[in-house]
Amino acid sequence: MAKNKMQQVQIISGKSRGRKLPFPELDGLRPTLGRTRETLMNWLRPDLPGATCLDLFAGSGALAFEALSNGASSAVFVESNPRVCAALKDNATKLGLAQEAEIIQGDGVRYLQSTQETFDLIFLDPPFGDRQLLDQALAAICQGKLARRWIYLESDQPTFLDDCCTKYGVPPYKETRSGQTVSALIQIP
């Protein structure tokens, strides 16, 4: 792949609806599908105004940018790749969200283990096929009590996702499947 090759993701709803955001084309970097994001935003719409969000393993940032577009007050984007972090910063600026979006370059699980901050909504969409990363992140979120209202999980392994939810005692509130992807929204009591 060319070093500077870019792809785009389109914001589906809210005040930034229709805006296209470029991000580096890298192996394993794929945004959550538009129809999945639309369903998720419909589920969360009543809770988004003023919400604080964490987009762990942010990638394109599509999930947190959607939340900000729909009224979330702030979002922390954690991403390990420096090129992707640069694109996230550029896109936050293009959308007029530089104050609301905090971009952190680093390891997602380490971030969870070191933060004292809690969030209304945590997006947990690790690179596909990385079961260990999903399990470690969910463990850190649950042990640290970092989620106040919602956790969104996405995986290419439906049974593994179900196993994780059972293991940590966080049953899915709503679930959707699209192709190989299963998405679950967990409500924190």
Q: What pLDDT does residue 158 have?
A: 72
Q: Indicate whether 144 pLDDT > 90.
A: no
pLDDT confidence of residue 2: 46
Task: Evaluate whether residue 18 is within a structural domain.
Answer: yes
- Angstrom distance (rounded) from CA 154 to CA 168: 16
Res. 52: pLDDT tops 80: yes
Question: Residue 95 falls within a domain, yes or no?
Answer: yes
Q: What secondary structure does DSSP assign to 127-160, as a single string? A: PTT-HHHHHHHHHHHHHHT-EEEEEEEEES-HHH
* 151: pLDDT strictly greater than 60: yes
Q: Please report the pLDDT score of residue 3 as a whole number.
A: 59
Q: What is the mean pLDDT of the chain?
A: 90
179 pLDDT band, cuts 50/70/90, is confident
Q: In this structure, is residue 87 part of a structural domain?
A: yes
The terminus-to-terminus CA distance of the chain in angstroms comes to: 45
Query: Is the Cα dihedral 131, 125, 147, 98 positive or negative?
Result: positive
Is position 16 within any domain? yes
Domain that holds residue 100: 6-187
pLDDT of 59-92, one tens digit each?
Answer: 999 999 999 999 999 999 999 999 999 999 999 9
Query: Rounded distance, CA 57 to CA 107, Å?
Result: 8
Residue 153 counted as domain residue: yes
pLDDT at position 72: 98
DSSP string, 32-56: PPHHHHHHHHHHHGGG-TT-EEEEE
Q: pTM, whole model, 2 decimals?
A: 0.92
User: Which stretch of 9-18, 45-54, 153-162 has the lowest confidence by average pLDDT?
Assistant: 153-162
- pLDDT, tens only, 96-114: 999 999 999 999 999 999 9
Structure tokens of 136? 């470690």
pLDDT reading at 56 higher than 60: yes
Select, from the ranges 8-12, 25-29, 33-37, the one with the highest average predicted confidence (pLDDT).
8-12
Indicate whether 1 pLDDT > 50.
no
CB 12 within 8 A of CB 34: yes
Q: Has residue 153 got a pLDDT over 80?
A: yes
Please report, for the domain that includes residue 173, its CATH number: 3.40.50.150
User: Is the pLDDT confidence value at 115 over 70?
Assistant: yes
Q: Is residue 1 part of a domain?
A: no
